[in-house]
């Protein structure tokens, strides 16, 4: 999801950092410290923004509900410049994270994704051909390993978020779930009534 319209400009030297809770991405996304992030999201965010994102997420290992970040100290630890406006490289890195939808401003702070979604087709199209081929191989491997479990997890998350059952199958297809798995996953969730497939689904690992 692209968040170009959102603006981020800290007004203090400290910032509250909280996890961005997204049931779908949290279920099927990739850890910010994963090889997937290294190969594909690095191309989108750039090295400075990716390292800044990883440092923010690292704080959740100790403070899972959120924490107060010292901006000058963190910038210095990463070897980046910091100023209270948007001129410093650290603040520009945080702005880039917002721009590409891996974080978003919230009241008095910043919500940060702990897991990254699959890269969008528009970003993939701008990557070198070798990286595109690698992503295709990566995608085929993941789908073949656990496509049905992924579809069930996504379908349950969609219903829990309030989506109508009638649109679930179409949304699964849009997210890259294979047609056969999308049909079966949607039918399974509909059969359970409340969309709870926890007893039947193993969340795909990344």
The helix or strand, by DSSP H or E, that contains position 111, with its residue range, turns out to be: strand 109-112
What are 18-68's pLDDT values in tens digits? 999 998 888 888 899 998 999 999 999 999 999 999 999 999 999 999 999
Model confidence, pTM = 0.66
> Average pLDDT for residues 142-154, to the nearest whole number?
75
The residue with greater pLDDT, 146 or 171, is 171
Q: What is the CA radius of gyration of the chain?
A: 18
> Average pLDDT for residues 179-201, to the nearest whole number?
61
* pLDDT mean across residues, the chain: 83
The residue with greater pLDDT, 149 or 104, is 104
pLDDT of residue 138: 81
Which band of pLDDT confidence, cut at 50, 70 and 90, is reported for residue 6? low
What are 66-87's pLDDT values in tens digits? 999 999 999 999 999 988 766 7
Residue 178 phi, psi dihedral angles, 5° rounding: -65, 150
Which band of pLDDT confidence, cut at 50, 70 and 90, is reported for residue 199? very low
Q: Which two tokens stand for residue 193?
A: 């009534």
Which band of pLDDT confidence, cut at 50, 70 and 90, is reported for residue 202? very low
Q: Which two tokens stand for residue 165?
A: 């059952």
Pure H helices in the chain: 23-28, 35-36, 42-45, 47-62, 71-77, 89-99, 121-124, 129-160, 165-174, 179-192
Count the neighbouring beta carbons within 10 Å of the beta carbon of residue 21: 10
Q: Which two tokens stand for residue 72?
A: 């000058």
Which band of pLDDT confidence, cut at 50, 70 and 90, is reported for residue 143? low
Beta-carbon-side half-sphere exposure of residue 182 (alpha carbons within 13 Å): 16
- Give the Cα-Cα-Cα angle 102, 145, 166 (nearest 5 degrees): 65
d(CA 186, CA 170): 9
pLDDT of residue 15: 92
* Cβ proximity of 170 and 136 under 8 Å: no
């Amino acid at each position: 999801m692209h968040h170009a319209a959102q603006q981020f400009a800290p007004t203090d030297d400290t910032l509250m950092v909280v996890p961005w809770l997204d049931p779908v991405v949290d279920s099927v996304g990739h850890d910010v410290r994963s090889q997937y992030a290294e190969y594909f999201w690095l191309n989108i965010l750039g090295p400075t923004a990716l390292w800044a994102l990883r440092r923010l997420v690292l704080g959740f290992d100790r403070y899972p509900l959120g924490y107060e970040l010292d901006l000058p100290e963190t910038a210095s630890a990463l070897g980046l410049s910091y100023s209270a406006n948007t001129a410093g490289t650290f603040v520009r890195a945080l702005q880039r994270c917002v721009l590409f939808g891996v974080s978003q401003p919230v009241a008095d702070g910043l919500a940060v994704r702990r897991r990254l979604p699959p890269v969008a087709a528009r970003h993939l199209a701008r990557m070198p051909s070798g990286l595109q081929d690698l992503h295709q191989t990566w995608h085929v491997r993941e789908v073949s390993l656990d496509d049905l479990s992924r579809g069930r997890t996504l379908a349950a998350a969609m219903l829990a978020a309030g989506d109508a059952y009638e649109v679930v199958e179409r949304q699964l297809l849009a997210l890259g779930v294979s047609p056969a798995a999308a049909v079966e996953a949607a039918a399974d969730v509909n059969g359970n009534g409340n969309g709870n497939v926890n007893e039947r689904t193993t969340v795909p690992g990344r």
